[in-house]
Amino acid sequence: MQDKTSILLVYTGGTIGMKQDPVSFDLRPFDFSQILEEMPELKKFGYRIDTYSFDPVIDSSDVDIEFWKRLTRLIEEHYDSYDGFVILHGTDTMSFSASALSFMLGDIEKPVIFTGSQLPIGMLRTDGKENLISSIEIAASKDKDGHPMVPEVCIYFESQLYRGNRTTKYTAENFRAFRSANYPVLAEAGIHIKFNTAFIRYPETWGKPLRPVYDLDPSVLIIKVIPGMKRELLDSLVSIEGIRAIVLETYGSGNAPSGKWFTDCIKKAIDRGLIVLNITQCQAGRVDMDAYSTGKSLKNIGVTGGGDCTTEAAVAKLFFLLGQYTDNKIIIDLLKKNIRGELTEV
C-alpha cells in the first residue's frame, strides 16, 4: 500500500453526475474524468483520488446482477491498491446495490461507500458535493492503528452514514433520501465526523484476503399482501415456474389474511419446494410470527421469519444464498442468521 491515502472513486450513473445544459436546461451526464475540474475542492484532500467511470453510465433503474458483478470485480481488482472506495450511484436502487455488494464482497476490511444526490452536482443547490466530499473523507478515515474506521459497505447521504444493507430509499423529494429504521447510523457528519464505533462491524483479525462471490440466483418473487387480494391471482403467482423463493411482504409484525385459502396458497408454494420469507411492509420493527394467530398460521406451514430485514436486504440475501446452495434447509438456516449485519438476531 502507498503512503498517500488512496481512494478509488467510481461513477456508475445517476443524478449526481449530471449537469444542466445552460440553454435547454436538460440534464446530461458530464464527462466524469473532468470531476476535478467540476469540483476543484477535491484536490484539497491531499489524497490520491483516481476515478473510474462506467461507460455507458446507467440510471440505477437499469441495475441488474451483471452490474453488481462488474462492480464487485472492479473492487476485487483494485482492492489492494486503494484504502477505500466511493461508488457514485443513482439513488433509486442504491439500497439494493449496497445490500447485494455487502453479500458479494464478504468480509471486507475496507470501506465501500455508496453515495449519490437528489440534485445534480452541476446545480447550484446540489446536495451532491457534500455527499461526495464526506464520503471520500469517511472512506479515507483510519483509527490510531491505521485500520479503516468503517470496513463495511455503506451508504452516505445528507450527513449520515448507514450500513448499506439496512437502508431503504425513503423519499423522492427531500435531501435525506435514505433511512435505516432498524439500525443506528454508523457515523454522523457535523463539524466533525463522529463514528458510532459500537455499531460498526470490525473483523476479528485484520489482513484476510477478499473472497468475493459472483454466483447469484435471482429466481425470487416479491408478493405484497393487500386487503382484498384475489385468491386466483395469488394462486397463479405461487404457481409460476422458475421461482425458488418468495419474499412475502406482510402486515405489521408478520401478519397476513387468516382465511384458509390464503395459507393453502402459501403452503402450495412451500410444498412445491419454494422458500417463503416473511418481511414486514412496515418501515420499522420486525416480523414476529408468534405475536398473532395470523402470523402463527404462516409459521406453522413453514414460512421463514425475516426478522427486521429490509425488503432490499432480503432480496439480495436470497439472490446470494440461492446462488450458493441448493439445499433449502441450509438456505433457511442462513436466512435466520445475521451474515453481514443485515439482521438483528433475537
Active site residues: 15
Q: Which stretch of DSSP H or E encloses residue 179?
A: strand 178-179
- In the numeric block, which cell numbers belong to residue 67? 452490474
- Cβ atoms of 155 and 95 closer than 8 Å: yes
| 18 versus 314: smaller Cβ distance to ligand ASP | 18
Select the residue interacting with ligand ASP from 5, 6, 15, 160 (CB under 6 A). 15
Q: Does 53 bind ligand ASP (CB under 6 A)?
A: no
Q: Does 257 bind ligand ASP (CB under 6 A)?
A: no
Select the residue interacting with ligand ASP from 14, 111, 122, 295 (CB under 6 A). 14
Select the residue interacting with ligand ASP from 83, 92, 152, 288 (CB under 6 A). 92
| Window contacting ligand ASP (CB under 6 A); options: 11-19, 76-84, 96-104, 132-140 | 11-19
Q: Does 72 bind ligand ASP (CB under 6 A)?
A: no
| Vertex 88: Cα angle to 214 and 185 (nearest 5) | 90
| Window contacting ligand ASP (CB under 6 A); options: 8-16, 160-168, 230-238, 260-268 | 8-16
Instruction: Kindly give, in sequence order, each residue whose CB lies less than 8 Å from that of residue 35, ignoring residues fewer than 6 positions away.
Output: 9, 11, 42, 51
Q: Does 60 bind ligand ASP (CB under 6 A)?
A: yes
- In the numeric block, which cell numbers belong to residue 337? 442468521
The residues in 133-192 that bind ligand ASP, with binding defined as CB under 6 A, are none
| Window contacting ligand ASP (CB under 6 A); options: 24-32, 54-62, 136-144, 154-162 | 54-62
In the bound complex, what is the minimum distance in angstroms from residue 140's beta carbon to ligand ASP? 24
| 94 versus 245: smaller Cβ distance to ligand ASP | 94
Q: Largest alpha-carbon pair distance within the chain?
A: 66
Q: Does 102 bind ligand ASP (CB under 6 A)?
A: no
Select the residue interacting with ligand ASP from 29, 84, 116, 128 (CB under 6 A). 116
- The DSSP string of 46-89 is -SEEEEEE-SS---GGG--HHHHHHHHHHHHHHGGG-SEEEEE-
Alpha helices in 210-309 (DSSP H): 231-239, 260-271, 293-300
Long-range pairs, 66-74, Cβ under 8 A, ≥24: 67/12, 67/97, 68/97, 68/100, 68/101, 68/104, 68/216, 69/104, 69/214, 69/216, 71/10, 71/12, 71/97, 71/101, 72/101, 72/104, 72/105, 72/212, 72/214, 73/212, 73/214, 74/10
Select the residue interacting with ligand ASP from 8, 13, 110, 182 (CB under 6 A). 13
The residues in 282-301 that bind ligand ASP, with binding defined as CB under 6 A, are none
In the bound complex, what is the minimum distance in angstroms from residue 278's beta carbon to ligand ASP? 28
Binding residues (CB under 6 A) for ligand ASP: these are 13-15, 59-61, 90-92, 116
